[in-house]
Amino acid sequence: MNLETAIRLTEILMGFAFVQQSIEHLTVFSDERRLFLARLILSLLLIIGIQTAWVSFLLLLLGLAILKIFHGPYNGGADRMSLLILLCLCLAHLAPTPRWQELAFGYLALQLILSYFISGWVKVVNPEWRNGQALRDVFQYSAYPVSESLRHLSQSPRLLLSMSWWVILFELLFPLALISSTSLKAALIFAAMFHLSNAFLFGLNRFFWIWITAYPSIIWFQSRIFS
Amino acid sequence: MKLFQTIKLLFPALIPSWDFFESIAPSPRIQFSLLNSEKQIDKHWVEFRPRPQYVSLIEMLNRMLWNPRWNESLFLVSCAERIVGNSSSELILHSEKEILKRIKNDLLQKHQTLTASHFQFRLVFVQRQGKKLIEEVAFISRTQTFTNEERL
């Protein structure tokens, strides 16, 4: 995948992710509605491909305004990833030379790798993650499980211990997937399934859409560095 | 100054920490109480938006595209954490306002008429100590009024 295609694909996926997020805000309070209606319109322009550099910049400004009304992110990591992608897209559009453009977009790929690796690292150094207790706590009393019936999973310590180690190993080993395009594609499919299960179990639907938005950057990055 | 503060909010996006679920912190539950006067002493606390007993696979699939209520609830969890964290008084006030606003909106949508004149919320944090789960009330909000037009 060349840089131009990867950037365009990122814009389209981000447009869809932002449309999904924006529609969710249209039924609530008027101050939110105005901002998210503007975001919805800009996201549609981004999907169609009209003046994508300007549209990305305006979406970034709108992102700042949204941060301001909520005094921080509305949906934690999903909003941070949204802003990171927007920033990298804006920088890629502003870049004076192809090399700078590659650096801006490569930064997104690097952060995507770190998003998995650091998540794995903070878990593996925590004994409660290594013995499965942390995941038991997530199901037993955290605010995330979408239904009471899911809380019963906290009574399956063996299952949760193996799930903990699957998550830790996958996240820690993710950078090794860059060795070949085949291993990367397999890792990205696994990662998408991981986000999908988080969306099902914990209602984190926005994480799924915005993380897969960053995947074209890493596919391009892998071919740029290793091919 | 305000512009600087807004741009400062952008820094965690530029250099994110990515330390998801590093440790499982005490988890907030929001409970509200409907009051007949501002100074009512006996209060009956009700959990705000209790999670359903069961969510079907079809519903989980639908929620991939349409999940506003849950995402709003996650935002309220962040607000609750901001209130008891080392936040500035401005941020605490904003978080309290956001929770009050959304509880009020829910109550007004749910009830055609309200007999209560006021309401308030409290934050109960659940955490594990050894093998036991313990609950601790960490914050009680100010009372909020329903106007006569809102109640009818």
Q: Which residues of B touch A76 (CB under 8 A)?
A: 74, 78
- The predicted model gives A182-189 an average pLDDT of 97
Higher pLDDT pick, A29 / B134: B134
Per-chain mean pLDDT for chain B: 90
SS3 B6: helix
Residue A227 has pLDDT above 70, yes or no: yes
- Does residue A71 belong to the interface with chain B, where contact is any CB pair within 8 Å? yes
Domain holding B122, by residue range, is 25-151
Q: Rounded to the nearest 5 degrees, what angle is found at the Cα of A35, between the Cα atoms of A30 and A37?
A: 85
Residue A226: band (very low, low, confident or very high) from pLDDT cuts 50, 70, 90: confident
pLDDT, residue B17, reads 85
Please tell me which of the candidates A72, A118, A147 has its beta carbon nearest to residue B51: A147
Residue A27 has pLDDT above 90, yes or no: no
- The predicted model gives B101-120 an average pLDDT of 89
Q: Give the distance from residue B19's alpha carbon to the nearest chain A alpha carbon, in angstroms.
A: 5
Please tell me which of the candidates A79, A122, A196 has its beta carbon nearest to residue B19: A122
Taking CB atoms and an 8 Å limit, are A84 and B127 in contact across chains? no
Any domain includes B11: no
Residue B81 has pLDDT above 80, yes or no: yes
Q: Rounded to the nearest 5 degrees, what angle is found at the Cα of B32, between the Cα atoms of B31 and B34?
A: 155
Any domain includes B29: yes
Half-sphere exposure (Cβ direction) of A198: Cα atoms closer than 13 Å: 19
Q: Give the distance from residue B114's alpha carbon to the nearest chain A alpha carbon, in angstroms.
A: 21
Interatomic CA distance for residues B150 and B152, integer angstroms: 6
Per-chain mean pLDDT for chain A: 95
Any domain includes B111: yes
Strand partners, B119: B34, B144
Nearest chain B residue to A72, by CA: B9
- Does residue B58 belong to the interface with chain A, where contact is any CB pair within 8 Å? no
- The predicted model gives B68-76 an average pLDDT of 96
Kindly report, residue by residue over A103-122, the tens digit of the pLDDT.
Answer: 999 999 999 999 999 999 99
Kindly report, residue by residue over A121-153, the tens digit of the pLDDT.
Answer: 999 999 999 999 999 999 999 999 999 999 999
Burial zone of B77 (CB within 10 Å; 0-12 exposed, 13-18 middle, 19+ buried)? middle
Residue A48 has pLDDT above 80, yes or no: yes
Taking CB atoms and an 8 Å limit, are A28 and B105 in contact across chains? yes
Residue A93: band (very low, low, confident or very high) from pLDDT cuts 50, 70, 90: very high
Any domain includes B12: no
pLDDT, residue B2, reads 67
- Does residue A139 belong to the interface with chain B, where contact is any CB pair within 8 Å? no
Residue B114 has pLDDT above 90, yes or no: no
Say which range, A177-191, A207-221, B34-48, has the weakest mean pLDDT: B34-48
Of A83, A81, A78, A47, residue with least CA distance to A65: A83
- Does residue A34 belong to the interface with chain B, where contact is any CB pair within 8 Å? no
Pairing of strands B118-129, B46-47: unpaired
Residue B143 has pLDDT above 90, yes or no: yes
**What ipTM score was computed for the predicted complex, to two decimals?**
0.93
Taking CB atoms and an 8 Å limit, are B74 and A75 in contact across chains? yes
Residue B8 has pLDDT above 90, yes or no: no
Say which range, A37-46, A64-73, B49-58, has the weakest mean pLDDT: A64-73
Nearest chain A residue to B90, by CA: A71
- The predicted model gives A15-21 an average pLDDT of 97
- The predicted model gives B125-146 an average pLDDT of 94
Q: Give the distance from residue A220's alpha carbon to the nearest chain B alpha carbon, in angstroms.
A: 20
Any domain includes B122: yes
Residue A186 has pLDDT above 80, yes or no: yes
Nearest chain B residue to A114, by CA: B18
Residue B152: band (very low, low, confident or very high) from pLDDT cuts 50, 70, 90: low
Q: Give the distance from residue B90's alpha carbon to the nearest chain A alpha carbon, in angstroms.
A: 9
Please tell me which of the candidates B10, B18, B77 has its beta carbon nearest to residue A64: B10
Q: Which residues of B touch A145 (CB under 8 A)?
A: 51
Q: Which residue's structure tokens are 């909010």?
A: B9
Please tell me which of the candidates B24, B82, B91 has its beta carbon nearest to residue A138: B24
Residue B12: band (very low, low, confident or very high) from pLDDT cuts 50, 70, 90: confident
- Does residue A155 belong to the interface with chain B, where contact is any CB pair within 8 Å? no
Burial zone of B56 (CB within 10 Å; 0-12 exposed, 13-18 middle, 19+ buried)? exposed
- Does residue B105 belong to the interface with chain A, where contact is any CB pair within 8 Å? yes
Q: How many domains does chain B have?
A: 1
User: What percent of chain A stands above pLDDT 90?
Assistant: 94
